[in-house]
Structures are given as C-alpha cells and as structure tokens.
A and B are shown apart, each in its own frame.
Chain A
Amino acid sequence: DGGITQSPKYLFRKEGQNVTLSCEQNLNHDAMYWYRQDPGQGLRLIYYSQIVNDFQKGDIAEGYSVSREKKESFPLTVTSAQKNPTAFYLCASRKYGTSGSIKGETQYFGPGTRLLVL
C-alpha cells in the first residue's frame, strides 16, 4: 500500500447520488489508475492518467468521471448513471522508468474503497 492512500475505506451511496472516491500518492509517480474489482472477475480498468490535466478512458468508463488537477491526486466520481456501482475500487500509480527499465511498469496499489448501495 505504502505511499498511496484511498478514502474512505467504506462508502455508501443512495439511489441517484454521485459519490467521490479519493486517491492520493506521495511517491512522485507519474501515472495513476482506477480499477474496479468484482467477485470472480479480474480487475477492470476504469480510467487512467499519464500526466496532470490529462486522462483516458479504460475498459469500463461509463458512469464514472475523473480529474487530475494535481500530480498527487486522482479522484474518481461514481455518478448516478452507473447502475451497478457496488464493488471494491482500487487506485494505483506508476513511476515512469528509464528506457527499457522493467521497474517503470510496476503499478503500486492503494488499500481500496468498498462502495455499497443503500
């Protein structure tokens, strides 16, 4: 987990409500990622950001939004358009390595936020 924090640990959402999950890293990492984890499925990429003020959709971006105003922060908003938001959400970050460096491809994960719908 070290250096990447996610809050809150548990989050409850009411019908029609938008909620925001926080992800902060003090590792000076360049790229940040949001994943969703459901039972019996592999992690799926929601959004990722390679630099400040830029981000790209992942495989399941519908119903989610992100921002990257600071290098250290990459909050995820789960909007009311996401009809099945109950899941474990994981944030990750990665430091770009030197050319050919394998270390530059390792993503480090935060502790996760479990989102439940009331």
Chain B
Amino acid sequence: KNQVEQSPQSLIILEGKNCTLQCNYTVSPFSNLRWYKQDTGRGPVSLTIMTFSENTKSNGRYTATLDADTKQSSLHITASQLSDSASYICVVSAGGGNKLTFGTGTQLKVEL
C-alpha cells in the first residue's frame, strides 16, 4: 500500500528561525514528489516538485531535498515569517499525474 508519512505532526517556532519538515514515503513506482502549502480553510498551493533525478529544489525561502534511495524528503524553511503559518503537505505521485498519495501534513505555527 502506498503511504506518505510526515513529521512532526505540528511545530511551533519563533519568527526568523529556520525549521525542517520531514517526509517518508513508500510509493511505487515513484514518479515525483511535491510539497504543498495549505493555509487554513484554503486549497493547497504547490511549492516545489522533484523527480527521481533531482535531490534539491528551491523556491524562495523554501528548499526541498529528496533522497530517492532512502525514500525521504525534507522541506527547509529559512528565516520564517508569520505568513509561513500553515499546513505543509508532502505528496508523492506514482506516475501519470492522476493518482497521488498525500501525507497528513505538518501544521506549522510561527510566533512573534
């Protein structure tokens, strides 16, 4: 069964600090992995997408890494801002783009 597990479940950090979110997956065959940001009560917005051959991808203060051998990914947020408070969801595609496996998300709260 395809699964995506994220940790931690929730996280509180102070504004300006960095943080790293983790994603482990067992999806086969692997096609790509993406990170989405979802604000409360809104739809998810794509941050990064990586294929098997890519091991890092940046989008502003967001940097995602992928280790296809260990089936792990991380999302690093640099110099956090209050607007980073959201749920971050790891999503893995088994190919074709129609069938995605979603993690349950990490709920991040950035405080003053």
Give the size category of B's interface with A. Answer: 20 to 34
Q: Do A31 and B42 contact each other (CB < 8 Å), given the known contacts A42-B4, A42-B105, A105-B93?
A: no
A102 to B45, CA, bound (A): 16
Query: CB within 8 A of B41: which of A33, A43, A105, A114?
Result: A114
9 nearest A-B residue pairs (beta carbon): A109-B43, A42-B102, A105-B97, A43-B102, A109-B44, A42-B104, A111-B43, A110-B43, A112-B43
- State the B residues within 8 Å of A (CB): 4, 31-32, 34, 36, 41-46, 49, 51, 89, 93, 96-105
Specify which chain B residues have a CB less than 8 angstroms from the CB of A104 in the assembled complex. Answer: 97
Specify which chain A residues have a CB less than 8 angstroms from the CB of B46 in the assembled complex. Answer: 106-108
Query: CB within 8 A of B103: which of A1, A42, A56?
Result: A42
Does chain B have a CB within 8 A of A16? no
Does chain B have a CB within 8 A of A71? no
A33 to chain B, nearest CB (A): 8
Specify which chain B residues have a CB less than 8 angstroms from the CB of A45 in the assembled complex. Answer: 99-100
Q: How many residues of A contact B (CB 8 A)?
A: 29
Task: Name which residue of chain B comes closest to A112, CB basis.
Answer: B43
26 CB-based A-B contacts, threshold 8 Å:
A31-B98, A40-B104, A41-B104, A42-B89, A42-B102, A42-B105, A43-B44, A44-B102, A45-B100, A48-B98, A56-B98, A90-B43, A92-B43, A102-B32, A102-B51, A105-B31, A105-B32, A105-B96, A106-B46, A107-B46, A107-B100, A108-B46, A109-B36, A109-B45, A112-B42, A114-B41
Per-position contact with B for A46-61: 1 when CB-CB < 8 Å, else 0?
Answer: 0010100000100000
Query: CB within 8 A of A107: which of B31, B97, B103, B104?
Result: B97
Known: A90-B44, A102-B51; 12 extra A-B contacts, CB below 8 A, are A1-B43, A4-B43, A42-B105, A48-B98, A50-B98, A92-B43, A105-B32, A107-B97, A109-B45, A110-B43, A112-B41, A112-B42
